[in-house]
Amino acid sequence: MKKSFKLSIVLLLALTVVLAGCGNNKNNANAGNSASGGSNSNTAASVKVGLVTDVGGVNDKSFNQSAWEGLSSLSDVKSEYLQSTKPDDYQTNLNKFVKGGYDLTWGIGMDLGDAVDQVASENPNAKLAIIDATVDQPNVKSVTFSENEGSFLVGVVAGMMTKTNKIGFVGGSQIPVIERFEAGFKAGIAAVNPNAQVLVNYTGAFDKPDLGKTAAATFYDNGADIVFQAAGGTGTGVFNEATARVKSGQKVWVIGVDKDQSLEFGDEVTLTSMVKRVDEAVKRVSQEVVDGTFKGGSEVLGLKENGVGIADTSEKNVPADVLAKVEEYKQKIINGEITVPAEPTK
């Protein structure tokens, strides 16, 4: 009887060890999935939404990251992303989600427009959505923004706060969406400070911080004291250059883009940010799939729709009189008294 009891205890302990080992293996397998993408799994969620980044990647501190944060915040959605390292990845990554039966597949960025168009055409029953491009397919929701309107407001800030009358703009690739940033920024500066000179550099990339650092260094060396970056991950280099100079005693500023970048890079170097509410757009459209109200089509989000604006933390470094002027121009744009150019003057 005693031998039988001891044997039972041994077997029970062995079974416990085996089960614990199985649980650990499962967790390790899930952790390994982050190499090519990531997920925010909710086992109770029945709706699956996939997100494909452009080459800037999901940790670009800007555009793609904002989109992923918006999607992953939805508790009733199983969300996953795939990072694209080159343009050839776009269609492949989109198809992985579509063929995998996902309820909605996002393409983040203008560069994915052709790939979304192709995949949507080949899969008419699939639902897709894209940020910063208009795709004319009945199963695609296209969301674009009036970046020029939000950029006008940070241009007002830069024009009123520059001490040197030299201001820089660092863009990524020279494409229409980034040119809207430049056009609005220049117009805002000119409205309050026509004597200010705007220096412009398009780096040609959204994932090259070293190019952003070099561009910013050139501007600061030439006397610019404020630089607005609209360059995705490349813009990290602009902040790095400015941070190094501030630490050495030089007073220079960066205007952030897409998100409130003071939260990432600090108030010592971030004057303000032109917030583009990609996260809110991604959340809202994804929720439409959950609610069964999703429809293809296009929409443009500007100041009137609260799709763009300046960061709520701007008051930390921007004086009250400057913020009052920003609000004045904001209302004029919303009321139609001012039409902000969408293309930069040559």
| DSSP letters spanning 94-156 | HHHHHHTT-SEEEEESGGGHHHHHHHHHH-TTS-EEEESS----TTEEEEEE-HHHHHHHHHH
> Hey, is 235 helix, strand or coil?
helix
Q: CB atoms < 10 A from the CB of 100, how many?
A: 11
In the chain, count of helices (H) and strands (E)?
Answer: 11, 13
Burial of residue 24 (CB within 10 Å: 0-12, 13-18, 19+) is exposed
Residue 309 falls in which region: left (phi positive, over 0), alpha (psi -120 to 50) or beta: left
**Whole-angstrom Cα distance, residue 182 to residue 165?**
17
User: For 181-238, how does the pLDDT look when each residue is reduced to its tens digit (9 = 90+)?
Assistant: 999 999 999 999 999 999 999 999 999 999 999 999 999 999 999 999 999 999 999 9
The two structure tokens encoding residue 77: 């959605």
- pLDDT value, residue 215: 98
> Hey, is 57 helix, strand or coil?
coil
**Mean of the per-residue pLDDT values for the chain?**
89
Rg (CA), the chain: 24
The two structure tokens encoding residue 61: 């501190």
User: For 68-88, how does the pLDDT look when each residue is reduced to its tens digit (9 = 90+)?
Assistant: 999 999 988 999 999 999 999
Place of tokens 């490349």: 234
